């Protein structure tokens, strides 16, 4: 079985550990946990290469989770069953791409928040067809 992991942003250490436990239980395998906290100016690729970094910092928004090595069914299982942590927003889920691994984390977070807002507006617009329906 190939190694899987996540990069988390916006969580304290206790919640990050709880997320790791959830991921290991649902996937029946060890999960590597990488922190993106306090690394907003670093490139995604640099952060992903630094598995020993372990600083955590809670943020109200955004909270993000980047899937690393997960296949489609694993991603959907996590998204469908992601636990609610009291007083915390659900993360914005993403995966690394050839393009975004070179971006500073702050740029990825900005892009994810813009996408989230776009889809929230689409969901809130009654009678408007989304791209899948056209």
Dihedral sign of CA atoms 101, 102, 108, 111 in order: negative
Q: Is 2 left (phi over 0), alpha (psi -120 to 50) or beta?
A: beta
Please state whether the predicted TM-score (pTM) of the whole model is above 0.85: yes
Q: Domain extents for the chain?
A: 4-124
The alpha carbon torsion through 122, 127, 128, 131 (nearest 10 deg) reads 90
pLDDT tens digits, the chain, 134 residues: what are they?
Answer: 479 999 999 999 999 999 999 999 999 999 999 999 999 999 999 999 987 888 999 998 899 999 999 999 999 999 999 998 887 888 999 999 999 999 999 999 999 999 988 888 887 766 555 444 44
Tell me the two tokens of residue 36: 């993106």
The rounded distance, in Å, linking the Cα atoms of 2 and 68 is 10
Counted residue by residue, the chain has a size of 134
Residue 12: CB atoms within 10 Å: 15
């Amino acid at each position: 079985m190939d190694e899987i992991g996540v990069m988390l942003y916006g969580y304290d250490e206790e919640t990050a550990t709880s997320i790791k436990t959830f991921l290991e239980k649902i996937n029946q395998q060890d999960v590597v946990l990488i922190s993106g906290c306090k690394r907003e100016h670093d490139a995604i690729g640099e952060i992903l290469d630094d598995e020993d970094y372990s600083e955590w910092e809670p943020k109200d928004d955004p909270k993000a989770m980047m899937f690393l090595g997960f296949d489609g069914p694993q991603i959907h299982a996590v998204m469908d069953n992601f636990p609610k942590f009291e007083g915390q927003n659900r993360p914005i889920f993403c995966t690394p791409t050839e393009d975004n691994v070179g971006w500073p984390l702050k740029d990825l977070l900005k892009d994810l928040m813009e996408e989230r807002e776009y889809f929230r507006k689409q969901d809130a617009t009654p009678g408007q067809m989304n791209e899948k329906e056209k």
